[in-house]
Amino acid sequence: MVTHPLDSPATAPTAQPIRNVLVFCGSRLGRDPRHATQAAEIGRTLALHGVGLIYGGGALGLMGEIGRAAIAAGGHVQGVIPRFLKEWEVAEPLCDDMTVTDSLHARKALMFDRCDAILALPGGLGTLDELIEVLSWRNLRLHAKPVWLLGDGDFWAPFLALMRHSVDSGFAGIDTLSHLETLDGTDALAALLSRP
Ligand code: AMP
């Protein structure tokens, strides 16, 4: 049997200081009100740790909650929004910086370039697309930025089960799962941000 080249062990990434976290999350609030509360808590946590927030820049849904909470707590907030979504998803007027891109692809690339770590909160197809893209880049060894998942009510359990199924079926390397760290709450995020 031929081994896949990506099944050889990857060199462990060196820990980089975390100055800016890219957050992927829903442009809707979702049904469970805990998601909005948690998004706002995370916005405040980033701000209180002096860590910048990079996000899609929309004022709706969980994006709106995290952005406004980080701004209110004195954090540095950068939004990156495609021109065609500026009105539709209501670009947050209070961001320190709002970059308007020509496409979703340009938005994702720019947000990714500017960040030191990625955090995914509950969301819909856009959030899943963004998460899977950075995860697949990590799998292809194009970067070594941490990818964290956080979500109340076991939101990510079905996603993790699908990833495990892909690994168990022999379609994804075992590293796929080790590239993802599930955080069990805002305190766990705070602990990571407090590391020297
Ligand atoms: P959602 O999780 O679907 O609410 O989307 C979160 C953000 O991702 C929103 O700003 C969406 O406009 C955006 N989005 C939706 N679809 C995609 C996609 N295919 N690629 C990148 N971003 C997307």
What's the CA-to-centroid distance between 196 and ligand 1, angstroms?
Answer: 33
Cut 0.85: pTM above it: yes
Q: What is the separation of C-alpha 179 from the centre of its chain, rounded to a whole number of angstroms?
A: 13
Closest C-alpha to 56, from 118, 146, 3: 118
Q: What is the pLDDT of residue 10?
A: 66
The closest-lying atom of ligand 1 relative to the alpha carbon of residue 125 is 3
98 by Cβ neighbours in 10 Å (0-12 / 13-18 / 19+) ranks as middle
Average pLDDT for consecutive 10-residue bins of the chain (196 residues)?
Answer: 69 78 98 98 98 98 98 98 94 96 97 98 98 95 96 95 96 90 96 89
> What gap in Å lies between CA 14 and CA 139, rounded to an integer?
16
Nearest-angstrom CA–CA distance, 18 and 35:
24
List Cβ neighbours of 178 (8 Å cut-off, separation of 6 or more): none
CA distance 6 to 67: 37
One-letter amino acid for residue 50 of the chain: G
User: Domain 17-193 adopts which CATH fold?
Assistant: Rossmann fold (3.40.50)
Q: What is the DSSP string of 136-147?
A: HHHHTTS----E
Is the distance from the beta carbon of residue 92 to the nearest atom of ligand 1 less than 6 Å?
no
Pocket test for ligand 1, best of 24, 25, 27, 80 (most atoms within 8 A of CB): 27
Q: Where are the domains of the chain?
A: 17-193
